[in-house]
Amino acid sequence: MSDAGAGSYVEQGEFRRDTNYITTRITADGSEGYPVEPGRYRLVAARACPWANRTLIVRRLLGLEPVLSVGLCGPTHDKLSWTFDLDPGGVDPVLGIHRLRDAYLARFPDYPRGITVPALVEIGTGQVVTNDYAQMTLDFSTEWAAYHRAGAPDLYPEARRDEIDELNREVFREVNNGVYRCGFAGSQDAYDAAYTRLFTALDRLSERLSTQRYLVGDTITEADVRLFTTLARFDPVYHGHFKCNRSKLSEMPVLWAYARDLFHTPGFGDTIDFAQIKEHYYAVHRDINPTAIIPDGPDLSNWLTPHHRDQLGGRPFGEGTPPPPPHPAERVPPIA
């Protein structure tokens, strides 16, 4: 079970993502039984997974590190679960478990679906609360507002939520999930249709971003976070592994500059571990890459080149400020 989506399947050659998640929410008023409280929950993520990567970015941008700890799974996993291979003894030091599956079964002994990251786990009970990644980051911006750092950006401004929501739906359908629709297509016709949909959407986004620095307004929002995690994986993984090969990201000038702009923004690039990303996709997706050989390329030093997007104006954090450098324990390896 990979970030392709546990329980996802191919129907008539077309990849279908299972989007049924544990929808319990952690809210400021605790109306669903789980109130926002510092130190009560642990975010379990994996740097390899684009859906989990979103939560790591938003947590950084909003400054939730002091109130919401993070447990990081390794880049690979077996058929049962993501595992804490990066920790001593392969055990999460806070939850005391080897497999994320244990937290799911602690709450749902007969849990029938796959074990996915990101997940929020209640530390005291060891039980998973939610794995609804799309709602999770929106709640970080709204329900956890009392614990945002001074100068945190407004990633989900109330006046623009309808626009952000609409764009997020399109980006999910055509891009975030679109690359998987290409990679896991079970027929030539399904692949051809998926390929066309993906690059039509990328061209449309390129046109939108040709005259504005960010997707919605003149500051970073939730919409930029959701697009960025797919773009960051495009050349290292999706272009070759998923056959999304009309163009590399680095050959699409507007999107390439936009992605580098975000990569250079504190909170984005400092959550990206390209080695873990490549290891996950090429080692776990044995149906696509049966040898599990991880390619040496591409050269990723081009992510460090100037982007010049600041010429379009805009202020990344609006009236706020950049987050401080990540805690030493959460730093990623620099690009060589």
Which helix (H) or strand (E) covers residue 80, if one does?
none
**Which residue among 104, 156, 180, 195 is the active-site one?**
180
Which helix (H) or strand (E) covers residue 183, if one does?
helix 178-183
pLDDT, tens digit (0-9, with 9 covering 90-100), for 162-220 = 999 999 999 999 999 999 999 999 999 999 999 999 999 999 999 999 999 999 999 99
Is position 182 annotated as part of the catalytic site? no
Quick check: 149 pLDDT over 60?
Answer: yes
Span 133-161, mean pLDDT? 98
Length of the chain: 336
pLDDT, tens digit (0-9, with 9 covering 90-100), for 215-246 = 999 999 999 999 999 999 999 999 999 999 99
Q: What is the DSSP string of 108-134?
A: -TT--S---SSEEEETTTTEEEE--HH
pLDDT, tens digit (0-9, with 9 covering 90-100), for 90-135 = 999 999 999 999 999 999 999 999 999 999 999 999 999 999 999 9
**Neighbouring C-beta atoms of residue 239, cutoff 10 Å:** 20
**Which residue among 49, 73, 182, 244 is the active-site one?**
49
Nearest Cα to 3, choosing from 129, 133, 104?
133
User: Per the structure block, which two tokens stand in for 52?
Assistant: 């989990």
Residue found under tokens 């994986």: 233
In this prediction, residue 336 has a pLDDT band, given cuts at 50, 70 and 90, of confident
In this prediction, residue 6 has a pLDDT band, given cuts at 50, 70 and 90, of low
Long-range contacts of 103-107 (CB under 8 A, 24+ apart): 103/44, 103/127, 103/128, 104/128
| Domains in the chain, CATH or no CATH each | 9-147 (3.40.30.10), 158-330 (1.20.1050.10)
In this prediction, residue 1 has a pLDDT band, given cuts at 50, 70 and 90, of very low
Cα-only R_g, the chain: 19
| pLDDT at position 14 | 77
**Residues paired with 218 in a beta bridge:** none
**pLDDT above 90: percentage of residues in the chain:** 93
Answer for the pair 216, 163: CB distance below 8 angstroms, yes or no. Answer: yes
| pLDDT at position 18 | 73
